[in-house]
Amino acid sequence: MTPTALHKILYVEDEIDIQAIAKLALENIGGFEVKICSSGQEALEKVECFSPDLIILDVMMPGMDGPKTMEELRKIEAISTTPVIFMTAKVQQTEVESYKSLGALNVISKPFDPMTLASTIKSIWDTHHECT
């Protein structure tokens, strides 16, 4: 089976510096179209108009955290099955397994390497689509 192409990524992150680095890495190195949202609430408001192929969620955000944001996004029919990757500094095995049990494809640890971020995401994407 040929994997579905990955073009559009919605990245939800509350830290402006991390937003800028990730956007630069994903667009300039990865060639992806990236929409940044600063909160879970903003993601809920903008996700349908953007129609992403993949959603990346920071785990720790004020207000609505990543897992809660994912739960709310799953209620939107148009993107209810859109794959999600979490990004977090909390990458103990039990935490990673917990995020995966929520339905995340995988977890990327912070801090991430901007030079390899796009290839890491592409690898997670390709592995997911080999299994589906």
Residue 96 phi/psi, 5-degree rounding, is -60, -45
Joined tokens for residue 108: 């990327």
Q: Quick one: pLDDT at residue 26?
A: 98
For the chain, which ranges sit under pLDDT 70? 1-3, 132
- pLDDT, residue 132, reads 58
What pTM, to 2 d.p., does this model score? 0.94
φ, ψ of residue 109 in degrees (nearest 5): -80, 150
Other residues' Cβ atoms within 10 Å of the Cβ of residue 123: 12
Q: What is the per-residue pLDDT for 45?
A: 96
Check residue 3 and give its pLDDT.
Answer: 47
Q: Can you list the domains of the chain with their CATH numbers?
A: 8-126 (3.40.50.2300)
Q: How many CA atoms lie within 13 A of 44 on its CB side?
A: 15
Q: How high is the pLDDT of residue 113?
A: 96
Contact (Cβ atoms closer than 8 angstroms) between residue 63 and residue 57: no
pLDDT at 2: 39
